Amino acid sequence: MYLYPNSHAGYYPGAKMIGLKLLFRKSNGKVLGAQALSEDGPGIDKRISALAMAIQMGATIDDLAEAELCYAPQFGSAKDPVNFAGMVARDSLDGDMPIAHWEAAQDGFLLDVREPAELALESVPGAVNIPLGELPRDREIEVICRFGQRAYYATRILLQNGFNVRNLSGGMLSRAMLLTDAPGFEKELV
């Protein structure tokens, strides 16, 4: 699964986005690998070091979600990207947030939950930006936003209202990585 959290607390100046890919075993949640990209060098190596230790110790996604990592606004958030990755992975395994990946996106209804200003910058052919009350119940809905957080909320709300829905993991940023074939992002593991 993919996510794109900030390198540290957003209210503290200089936060940079981290592109984080987490691999885990579906059967037991064991962490198998990770990759990260960011302009924030110290922020990236901190997360990869924590994930490398988790892999070495045989940790699970639940261990990531509960890990106590250093909190200092200029270096990390109260819920670190490593914690966030564990929480999102657990929600995925529990069925609370089914995910899809761009490569496997089907002919479902593609719902874009981004703001109009973001749509002006980029869009996906066939994706629709519409209010909740107008969504189809007769086919699967695949939800997107910029990096996955709003799509996560929309997916949870839609699931709780009886829709057949999945969150496209990592949103538009994962699609951009796939289309640009970012060096090493898909090919190497930690």
pLDDT level of residue 120 (50, 70, 90 thresholds): confident
- For residue 177, pLDDT beyond 80: yes
The two three-digit tokens of residue 6, written as one number: 């900030």
Same domain, 105 and 164: yes
- One domain, residues 114 and 85: no
Q: What is the mean pLDDT of the chain?
A: 86
**Domains in the chain, number:** 2
* Average pLDDT for 116-143: 84
What pLDDT does 61 receive? 97
pLDDT-derived band at 131 (thresholds 50, 70, 90) equals low
| Shared-domain flag, residues 113 and 85 | no
Its domain, for residue 52, covers 2-93
User: Do 67 and 111 have their domain in common?
Assistant: no
Question: Which segment of 21-30, 100-109, 136-145 scores lowest on mean pLDDT?
Answer: 100-109
Do 87 and 7 belong to one domain?
A: yes
Are 114 and 140 contained in the same domain?
Answer: yes
Q: The domain spanning residue 146 has which CATH number?
A: 3.40.250.10
Same domain (yes/no): 87, 103: no
- 190 domain-assigned: no
Considering the domain architecture, whether residues 24 and 76 belong to the same structural domain is answered as yes
Last residue of a domain, one of 93, 122, 145: 93
| DSSP-derived secondary structure for 52-81 | HHHHHTT-BHHHHHH-----BTTTB-SS-H
16 and 77 in a single domain? The answer is yes
Distance, C-alpha 54 to centroid of its chain: 19
Which of 42, 67, 93 lies at the terminal end of a domain, its last residue? 93
Residue 75 pLDDT greater than 80, yes or no: no
Count of CA atoms in the C-beta half-sphere (13 A) of 122: 8
Say whether pLDDT at 142 is over 80: yes
Which of 20, 87, 145, 173 is the catalytic position? 145
70 catalytically annotated: no
pLDDT digits (tens, 9 = 90+) for 9-42: 777 788 888 999 999 999 999 999 999 998 877 7
Q: What is the pTM of this model?
A: 0.70
Judge if 113 and 79 occupy the same domain. Answer: no
Q: Would residue 148 be called left, alpha or beta, if left means φ above 0 and alpha means ψ between -120 and 50 degrees?
A: left
- For residue 109, what pLDDT band results from cuts at 50, 70 and 90? confident
> Does residue 175 share a domain with residue 107?
yes
Rounded to 10 degrees, what is the CA torsion of 85, 83, 8, 50? -90
Last residue of a domain, one of 93, 108, 137: 93
CATH of residue 87? 3.50.50.60
- Give the model's pLDDT for residue 54: 97
Q: Which pLDDT score is estimated for 185?
A: 55
